[in-house]
Amino acid sequence: MAIADSTRRLAWWQKQRTRERALIAAFLLPSLTIFVLYRLLPLLWNLVLSFQYWSPLKPAHWAGFDHYQEMLFYDDVFWQALTNTLIFIAASPFAIAFALAIALLVNSDLKGAAYYRSIVFLSYPLMTVAVGIIWRWMYDERGGIINYALRETGLIAAPIPFLQSFAWALPSVIVAEIWQVLGFYMIILLTGLQSIPAHLYEAASIDGAPSGAQFRRITLPLLRPSLFLCAVVGLLNSFTSFDLVYIMTNGGPGHATELLITYVYKSGFGQSKFDYAAALTVAQFALLLALAFGANRAAGSNVGALER
């Protein structure tokens, strides 16, 4: 009874649970503050800006849906940039498939697998700007190694202007993007492969399951979290490939390699249309949100299970 009385007498701030919660809050506070200041508030301000006419030196006034109307019904570049962004995203599965093939190889008894793993991963830590410059030179029409190799092997008669051609520019940039991110995908998938218990394969072998069936029935299902993590990373990369495109083609020729992110930049800083750029950003954010949600659902809502 005396103990109960003393418990009842404890003020709310003296309770163990409160102290624990306060501790958690104290740990979270710095991150949350940064998140709110540098993510949430700009996002909200961007949303407001997309409904206004605004430039750094002119007072803002209400624009309603004017920017969205312009974007959806009059701006061909927006649609081109959106299409290109979706093509960029669609290229991710190919990169993941390629990375999976490499991961399977380096996970096997292949001689020197560790070296191959390092070589493939080397591209990932490179700065994207450096990757862009390297590939720009490799694609060069006059002195690029790719044209040189193709001509020397007799595959082409005249050099291909990879980055100046409307047809070749986007695939060329996508190849560079895949090359850079391949190592990262490979490491994620390799980790996934190595976490699959070996006894499952042994049991399947005893049951006489061919290797193809083992891959379909054991490897792929158990790799699902890793595959979808790669898919989400690929999705985010596709939306943020600004530096690579900016360095390699600056969105050209015409708008053949324009992505939403490069178009946002050009509208804002090239044409001083920050309000319109804000509307473009909202469209991009909405698309990203929808695709990330879809990918997460497809993964059984457990993307990131590896971290747990």
Partner 1 sequence: MTKSKISRRRLLKSGAVAAAATLCTPALGAAPQRLSFLTWNIIDQEPMIRGWIKRFGARWPGVEIEWLDKKGPEIPAFYQTQLAAGTPPDVINTQGALGLEYADQGALLDLTPRLQAEAAVRERFNPDYLANWALEGRNYMLPFYITKTLLFYNKPMFLRAGLSGPPQSFAELLAAANETTAENASGFLTLNFDWLYWPLYAMNGVELLSKDLKTSTFNTAKAIEVTERLALATASGAINKISWTGRWVEPNGAFAGGNVGMLHAHSPAYFFIKGQGNWVGADTLGVAHAPGGFATPNSHGLGISKASKNPDLAWEFLKFVTDEGAQELGVNRRLVTGNTAVDTKNMAALERDDPLVYAILKTQLEHTDKMVGNWRLGNDSAMKEAFWPELQSALLGRRDARSALAEAERKVARQLKRG
Q: How far is the CB of 275 from partner 1 (least distance, A)?
A: 11
CA–CA gap between residue 260 and residue 167 (Å, rounded): 19
Q: Which one among 271, 286, 290, 302 touches partner 1, defined by CB under 8 A? A: 271
Place of tokens 């979808």: 228
Q: Which one among 137, 166, 202, 213 touches partner 1, defined by CB under 8 A? A: 166
H or E element: which one contains 289?
helix 274-298
Q: Is 270 in the site for partner 1 (CB under 8 A)?
A: yes
Q: Is 269 in the site for partner 1 (CB under 8 A)?
A: yes
Distances from the Cα of 177 to the Cα of 14, 183, 279, 299, angstroms: 55, 11, 27, 24
Q: What is the DSSP letter of 217?
A: I
Question: 117 vs 273, which CB is nearer to partner 1?
Answer: 273
Distances from the Cα of 82 to the Cα of 77, 93, 110, angstroms: 8, 18, 42
Q: Is 61 in the site for partner 1 (CB under 8 A)?
A: no
* Cα four-point dihedral sign 168, 174, 177, 178: negative
CA–CA gap between residue 176 and residue 182 (Å, rounded): 10
What residues are paired with 62 via a beta bridge? 52
Q: Is 266 in the site for partner 1 (CB under 8 A)?
A: yes
Q: Is 115 in the site for partner 1 (CB under 8 A)?
A: no
Q: Which one among 131, 187, 255, 275 touches partner 1, defined by CB under 8 A? A: 255
HSE-up (13 A, CA, CB side) for residue 284 = 27
CA–CA gap between residue 173 and residue 167 (Å, rounded): 12
Which residues between 222 and 251 bind partner 1 (CB under 8 A)? 250
Question: 26 vs 57, which CB is nearer to partner 1?
Answer: 57
Stretch that binds partner 1, among 23-31, 160-168, 185-193, 208-216 (CB under 8 A): 160-168
Stretch that binds partner 1, among 104-112, 214-222, 271-279, 283-291 (CB under 8 A): 271-279
Q: Which one among 132, 144, 161, 192 touches partner 1, defined by CB under 8 A? A: 161
Query: Which residues in this chain contact partner 1 in the complex, by CB under 8 A?
Result: 55-58, 70, 74, 76-77, 142, 161, 164-166, 250, 252-255, 266, 268-274
